[in-house]
Amino acid sequence: MALVEITNGDKFIQALEGVKKTVSSEVCLAAVQAGAGIVEAAGKLNIDKQGLRDQGKLIGSYQVYDPKVSRDGAECKVGSRGVIYNAVHEFGATISAKRTKYLAIPTEGNKSPTPKEMGGLHFVSGRGGGVLMDKAGEVKFVLKPSVKIPARPYHRPAVDESRREVLDVMAATIRRSLS
């Protein structure tokens, strides 16, 4: 999550100090939301670039939210909401089996979510785990004690790469309100 804000301490606001009294809180909020929209668009592009758009849940959850206006300025947040694996993609993680000896990772084309639901599988031991095969000898699940998921950041680069554009669109929004 990124916090895009205009506050009295912000250099951006200090540059606008002379017009502060004429800029309403609604204009401040509109400027913040416009800047946050730039980060949102960049983050969604990064989600696609990283190949993180399997079912569309992550990209659908990535949004501008929680706008607030106070006497000090305005703020809103940008990030993924309601998707528990967003931090795994952003920072990477090691996922380990907890209730069983192995994680069961479905193979390509296997639509069954768990070995139990599929049934009729037999275990073939391998180095550091094994596989579960059906009666035809087709591997349906790979078994591993843990997997390391590499970081595939999409949010932090969106914030870093769009910083200049965010400031420009915020300034433009405030300038329009003054004309």
- pLDDT, averaged per 10 consecutive residues of the chain (179 residues), comes to 54 57 80 96 96 90 92 88 92 94 91 85 90 93 95 95 94 89
The reported pLDDT for the residue numbered 8 is 47
Q: Is the CB of residue 134 less than 8 Å from the CB of residue 107? A: no
The reported pLDDT for the residue numbered 21 is 56
**CA 74 – CA 7 distance, rounded (Å):** 7
**CA 172 – CA 155 distance, rounded (Å):** 24
Give me the half-sphere count of Cα atoms (radius 13 Å) on the Cβ side of residue 92. 6
For 119, phi then psi, to 5°, come to 65, 165
Q: Is the CB of residue 115 less than 8 Å from the CB of residue 121? A: yes
The reported pLDDT for the residue numbered 66 is 93
The reported pLDDT for the residue numbered 19 is 52
Q: Is the CB of residue 105 less than 8 Å from the CB of residue 147? A: yes
The reported pLDDT for the residue numbered 90 is 95
